[in-house]
Amino acid sequence: MDKVKVGVIGLGMGQFHLRSYEACPDASVIALCDIDGAKLSRLLRERPGVEGFTDYREMLAMEELQAVSVALPNFLHAPVTLAALEAGKHVLCEKPMAMNAAEALEMKAAAERLGRVLMIHFNMRYMATAATLKPIVDAAVLGEVYHVTTTYTRRDGYPPTSWFGRKDMSGGGPLIDMGVHRIDLALWLLGRPRPVSAFGAVYDLLARKKLKGVEFDCEDFATAMVRFENGCTLYVATSWDGHEKDGGGLTMSIRGTEGAVFEQEGRLILCTEEHGVPTARTLEQVEPGETPQDHFVSCIREGRQPDPCAEDGVTLMKVLDAIYESARTRSEVRIE
């Protein structure tokens, strides 16, 4: 099979997609799109022969174009993905999948109806932490996992682009921006248990104090507990602002009946017992064998479901919807 002809819509985060496609031996980048003409022109000068567009609809009209990355502000994920699917293109959509579960379900249904690959860019599944932990959890080294704690925090890290702080364009703050990554990673590591309820809270106390005169109506901190059908629970906390030690960062703990693993300052520490004696050792991290873009392209070539698939994206949106609703009502919310 010839190389898959791909394009990228949105050249902010989309530049990450672009570089990954260019490093993929089975992909050929033939088109780029961004409303910022200067940025688009700069990237095109470095890539002779690649077509450039400021209107994604014109780009999607290219018959030879087979697949696109949609790397736009959150409120555009659903409409642009739907337009791309209707144009016969396979889609790798940036996270979050959509603004809410209803939009996500519409995207999933369209991909199924049209027979197109729809993958969601939960790229933390393709990092060393995930590649190291997945075989350990799958092999039941930890026994039965009953609780996961995960955080993704910043001390003073509001996104530089104004749309992130507008709920009508982003859907929310750090929960939908950063927490979505950590919830997805936990669900994937645990083998996709079915979430049944969530209790959450969001705060904008620091943003209100610091961002006077700035259009901002999202949270700066969010926290939640998610319950799963199998009895396991997940605690998540995420922030754009807070009095974080060393500026914040990523943490995770996975607790099981036979052991636990802790992510601390980039290290993974496995704690178990040997002959009744507590042990702790730092794991040598395994580099992943492919990027999300590599995987997306191979799924197109081989006609198989991607990982993460559209269903994973829908599940995440249901969890996020429940957390935000719980924060609004100050009560536990069921996830159907």
Q: How confident is the model at residue 58 (pLDDT cuts 50, 70, 90)?
A: very high
Q: What is the largest CA-CA distance in the chain?
A: 66
Same domain, 147 and 233: yes
Same domain, 205 and 145: yes
The pLDDT value recorded for residue 322 is 98
Arithmetic mean of pLDDT, 35-58: 97
Domain count, the chain: 2
Taken in order 228, 174, 316, 270, the sign of the CA dihedral is negative
Tokens of 97: 């999948």
- Among 201, 204, 253, 192, smallest CA distance to 225 is for 201
3-state SS string over the chain? CCCEEEEEECCCCHHHHHHHHHCCCCEEEEEEECCCHHHHHHHHHCCCCCEEECCHHHHHCCCCCCEEEECCCHHHHHHHHHHHHHCCCEEEEECCCCCCHHHHHHHHHHHHHHCCCEEEECHHHHCHHHHHHHHHHHCCCCCCEEEEEEEEEECECCCCCHHHHCHHHHCCCHHHHHHHHHHHHHHHHCCCCCEEEEEEEEECHHHHHHCCCCCCCCCCEEEEEEEECCCCEEEEEEECECCCHHHEEEEEEEEECCEEEEEECCEEEEEEEECCEEEEEECCCCCCCCCHHHHHHHHHHHCCCCCCEHHHHHHHHHHHHHHHHHHHHCCCEECC
Query: Above 80 in pLDDT, residue 1?
Result: no
The answer to whether residue 13 sits within a structural domain is: yes
- Among 336, 333, 316, smallest CA distance to 198 is for 333
Query: Above 80 in pLDDT, residue 11?
Result: yes
Query: Above 90 in pLDDT, residue 332?
Result: yes
Same domain, 159 and 260: yes
Arithmetic mean of pLDDT, 142-162: 94
The answer to whether residue 175 sits within a structural domain is: yes
Query: Above 80 in pLDDT, residue 64?
Result: yes
The answer to whether residue 267 sits within a structural domain is: yes
Same domain, 240 and 130: yes
The answer to whether residue 177 sits within a structural domain is: yes
Same domain, 117 and 212: no
Q: Are the C-beta atoms of 67 and 4 separated by less than 8 Å?
A: yes
Q: How confident is the model at residue 313 (pLDDT cuts 50, 70, 90)?
A: very high
Same domain, 111 and 77: yes
Query: Above 80 in pLDDT, residue 163?
Result: yes
Q: What percent of the chain has pLDDT over 90?
A: 94
Kindly report the CA angle at 73 between 214 and 50, in degrees rounded to 5? Answer: 130
The pLDDT value recorded for residue 213 is 83
Same domain, 166 and 281: yes
Same domain, 44 and 129: no
The pLDDT value recorded for residue 304 is 96
The answer to whether residue 236 sits within a structural domain is: yes
Q: How confident is the model at residue 214 (pLDDT cuts 50, 70, 90)?
A: confident
Arithmetic mean of pLDDT, 308-324: 98
Same domain, 89 and 56: yes
Same domain, 198 and 276: yes
Query: Above 90 in pLDDT, residue 166?
Result: yes
- CATH number, domain at 284? 3.30.360.10
The answer to whether residue 197 sits within a structural domain is: yes
Read off the pTM.
Answer: 0.96
pLDDT digits (tens, 9 = 90+) for 115-127: 999 999 999 999 9
The domain in which residue 8 lies consists of 4-121+291-306
Query: Above 80 in pLDDT, residue 140?
Result: yes
Query: Above 80 in pLDDT, residue 308?
Result: yes
Distance (Å, rounded) from C-alpha 185 to C-alpha 330?
26
Arithmetic mean of pLDDT, 35-49: 97
The answer to whether residue 313 sits within a structural domain is: no
Task: Give every CB contact of residue 333 below 8 A, 6+ residues apart in sequence.
Answer: 197, 198, 199, 322, 323, 325, 326
Same domain, 210 and 238: yes
The pLDDT value recorded for residue 186 is 98
Same domain, 153 and 236: yes
The pLDDT value recorded for residue 303 is 96
- CATH number, domain at 66? 3.40.50.720
The pLDDT value recorded for residue 247 is 84
Average pLDDT taken over every residue of the chain: 96
Q: Are the C-beta atoms of 205 and 219 separated by less than 8 Å?
A: no
R_g over Cα of the chain: 20
The answer to whether residue 270 sits within a structural domain is: yes
pLDDT digits (tens, 9 = 90+) for 251-294: 999 999 999 999 987 899 999 998 889 999 999 999 999 999 99
pLDDT digits (tens, 9 = 90+) for 141-150: 999 999 999 9
